[in-house]
A and B are shown apart, each in its own frame.
Chain A
Amino acid sequence: MIRAETIIYLDDVTVDYDGFKALSGLNFYMDRKELRVVIGPNGAGKTTLLDVISGRVRPATGRVIFGHHTDLTHLAENEIAELGIGRKFQTPSVFVNLTVRDNVELSLRRASKGVLATLLERGDTTDERRRIGDTLERVGLAAKGGVMAGALSHGEKQWLEIGMVMAQDPELLLVDEPVAGMTDDETARTGELLSAIAADRSVLVIEHDMEFVRQIARKVTVLHQGAVLCEGPVEQVQNDPRVLEVYLGQRHAAGGAEHAVR
């Protein structure tokens, strides 16, 4: 199953929350430089999928293989981050009492992020300054480098966090509902940003907004009850009878889900 171009491979992964199987025997893989969107009704296990990959949740069974042979299931979150997996959370999580520039500076990929190394650092090198500048430029915050991150708007915080994850120079980006609460204009710009990032990295996006999914997606995976229901191009998935049933069947239970697939 593991091919040369596979970046992440989940093999028969089960996550059990006191009897509730958030993921049950999930098999999932993604190629390098792929932009994948994962959709699914509430409780399908979308965020748990990201939790498992990023080390927040340990699966009860199964393997999570990053690259060729690195098993992630026994590593801590920060170790996984250093391996090259970046995660953007659903609600913006930035350092509100630091400047926008410092937020990116702290996120930069470095040889060591230990206490001693950060205590004894002697300022940014020219290369690091360039990388910080490039990142801010890319997420459209170059003019706001000196501003406290707490003073940014909701959309800008989301972009800053995407920038912070990019600064980690990850091979794989995990992005959880990036456009929730954004204006149409902001949503469109976020779509462009993610598509551009996917030119040289793998990006895994969880999203509810089908408009947005159509804008960015090449391949869509539908999760249902902790397993893959179907996978394919967005048009095909949208017309799949099983997908329609899953969403429509949830009409009464979960108010927000049924309009997602339309």
Chain B
Amino acid sequence: MPRRELLGLGALAVLLVVVLPVCNVAPPETAFHVSNFTLNLFGKFLTYAILALGLDLLWGYAGVLSLGHGVFFGLGAYAMGMHLMLEIGTKSVYQTALPDFMVWNRVTELPFFWKPFHHAWFALLAIVAVPAIVAMVFGFLAFRSRIRGVYFSIITQAFALCAWLIFNRNEMNLGGTNGLADFKTIFGFPLGRPSTQRGLYVVTALTLVGAYVLCRWITRSRAGKVLVAIRDSETRVLFSGYSPVNYKLFVFVVSAALAGVAGALYAPQVGIITPARIGVLPSIEMVVWVAAGGRGTLLGAVLGAFGVNWIQSWLTTSYPDLWLLFLGALFMGVVLFFPDGVLGAAQRLVGRLSRLSPRARTTPPLPSDEPQKINQSA
């Protein structure tokens, strides 16, 4: 990693992992106090940022646009949620060992696929493994049949719709439209306690730093160059002796696993996971974060996920009617005026300014280019 990026990442990591939690512990009357509510909100944004990193790796580098990442996020969240539901045990409303929604649905015995989720280790494994395996099967079938570009995006969208419909069904024993909620503890720590939430926040922030390092390691390796090469000319990659199918599958699985981890950190912090987080719309929102922040930069994805959601949480409380209009305007604005996102626009501005200055330096060219590119790679 270049020195500048390493310093920037270090500073950001210290801010997120150390400074914010310390400010949260500080007495409320101090000026720099961060409320429990705000810290929890940031924790949620950071889980989105983890997902956005994986999506950027897939779309910004390999040029594969997935409109179904909500599913992988949901799989991770449900895997965690199922463990949390079982952790409630007899402290539930009906005071049975079964989760409450199963009692309403007259389910008398815990379904077989719920049973292993009693074990924390199994739940933690499933958080990564389930999205990864689903992505591997789906990706293998799609990439092997040479489904690419907009066709791939469309079938991922259909995939998101299917998953949404399936998770909505009560017969699936996954809570139907109400999803999984009313979690009490996580690995024995009460979720209602601020210290537990602070701990979850710190874990999320650390995971984000780890995910960033992982993604940067991939993009800086030769495999990372192959990913960019696939976006530029898949045929050339193939005729250069590489198998684009394997590379696309690899990056698809990595990004699905990151989405699963993000979902698993989301569920306990937000306290509920429902099919509404899985479907077509949330999956598209995820793409908007990456596009708004700047594709193919990693940092842009993090900024986009954080920024768009922060604005959303502010707008939905202050101007609830305007939020969707804003989201639409944002996406159109980005496509029309900032095809390489906020970060890309900023970099171009810096580049232009430095060219004006007498000691002109060359700035590294951006991975993304002309405006049509969004449509092409979509």
Contacts and interface: CB of A to CB of B under 8 A. Distances in A.
B358 interface: no
Nearest to B373: A97
A110 B226 CA distance: 14
Contacts of B221: 118-121
Contacts of B243: 76, 78, 113-114
A77 B236 CA distance: 10
Interface stretch (A87-95, A193-201, A250-258): A87-95
Contacts of B237: 106
A168 B235 contact: no
B359 interface: no
B232 A95 contact: yes
Contacts of A107: 240
B241 A95 contact: no
Contacts of B233: 93-96
A215 B230 CA distance: 36
B101 interface: no
A118 B241 contact: no
Contacts of A77: 238-239
Contacts of A150: 369
B257 to A, nearest CB: 15
Q: Name the prevailing secondary structure of the A interface residues.
A: mixed
B149 to A, nearest CB: 16
Given A77-B238, A82-B241, A119 B246 contact: no
Contacts, number: 84
Contact of B239 (A81, A96, A115, A148): A81
Interface string B130-161: 00000000000000000000000000000000
26 contacts: A76-B243, A78-B240, A78-B242, A78-B243, A81-B238, A81-B241, A86-B239, A87-B239, A89-B235, A89-B236, A93-B233, A93-B235, A95-B233, A95-B236, A96-B233, A102-B225, A106-B222, A106-B226, A106-B242, A113-B241, A114-B246, A115-B223, A118-B222, A119-B221, A119-B222, A168-B241
Given A82-B241, A98-B232, 14 more contacts: A78-B241, A81-B238, A81-B241, A86-B239, A93-B233, A95-B228, A97-B367, A97-B369, A98-B229, A105-B222, A106-B226, A115-B246, A119-B222, A168-B241
Interface of B: 218, 221-223, 225-226, 228-229, 231-233, 235-243, 246-247, 250, 365, 367, 369
